Amino acid sequence: MGSRTGREKRTLDAMIRMFCRGSHGGADVPCGECRELLEYALERLSRCRFGEDKPTCARCPVHCYRPAMRDRIKAVMRHSGPRIVWKHPVLALMHLIDGRRKGKDLPGGR
């Protein structure tokens, strides 16, 4: 696993844990519902067809999440996005930098 994918996995983990603590009162371990979402998201990231050259999911031309899971991850991002800057500033900064990068040979011209 390359550094970019590993960093994205750590970011997903941090954001889902923050969401669970804030929305479900979970402790350090996410509840079953959030753990299911985390496992799904990590699996999708591991299977990303773009590999280390992937754009951030918001800029990706391929929607690989099932619609219900996409709605759940959007709720996580809305909740955790503003908070991650204070809890995990390095992950937040790297995610912003990754979002400005252009993926290599992406269909759709993004």
- Tens digits of residue pLDDT in 35-65: 999 999 999 999 988 888 877 777 788 888 9
Burial (0-12, 13-18, 19+ Cβ within 10 Å), 73? buried
- Confidence grade of residue 110 (pLDDT, cut at 50, 70, 90): very low
Residues written for the chain: 110
Task: Round to whole Å and give the CA distance between 25 and 44.
Answer: 26
Confidence at residue 109, expressed as pLDDT on a 0 to 100 scale: 45
User: CA 106 to CA 38: how far, in whole Å?
Assistant: 26
Where are the chain's structural domains? 3-100
In the structure, what pLDDT confidence band is assigned to residue 99 with cuts at 50, 70 and 90? confident
Q: Report which of residues 89 and 1 the model is more confident about.
A: 89
